[in-house]
Amino acid sequence: MRYMFHSFRMLMKSAMQYRSSLLMQVIAQVVLTGGELLAVTVLLSRFHVVGHWQAMEIMFFFGVMQSSFALTELFGRGVAAFQGFVGRGEFDSLLLRPRPLLLQVVCSQLDPRRVGSCAVGVAAIVIAASRLEIAWTVGKVLLLAEVVLCSMLLTLGLFMIEATMCFFSVKSIEMVNVLTYGGRSTCQYPVDIFPKPLELLFTYLAPFALCMHWPVAWVLGQPMTALSPGWYFVTPLAGLVFFLLMTRVWYWGVRRYRSTGT
Domain ranges of the chain: 2-254
pLDDT of residue 42 exceeding 90, the answer is: no
Rounded Cα distance between 115 and 192, Å, is 29
Measured on CA atoms in the order 187, 190, 194, 196, is the torsion positive or negative?
positive
Rounded Cα distance between 223 and 227, Å, is 8
- The average confidence (pLDDT) of the chain is 87
pLDDT score at 170: 57
Strand partners, 53: 50
Higher pLDDT among residues 37 and 245, named by residue: 245
Model pTM? 0.89
pLDDT score at 209: 93
- Phi, psi dihedral angles at 256 (to 5 degrees): -110, 10
Q: Of 11-20, 95-104, 107-116, 216-225, where does the model show the most confidence?
A: 216-225
pLDDT of residue 235 exceeding 80, the answer is: yes
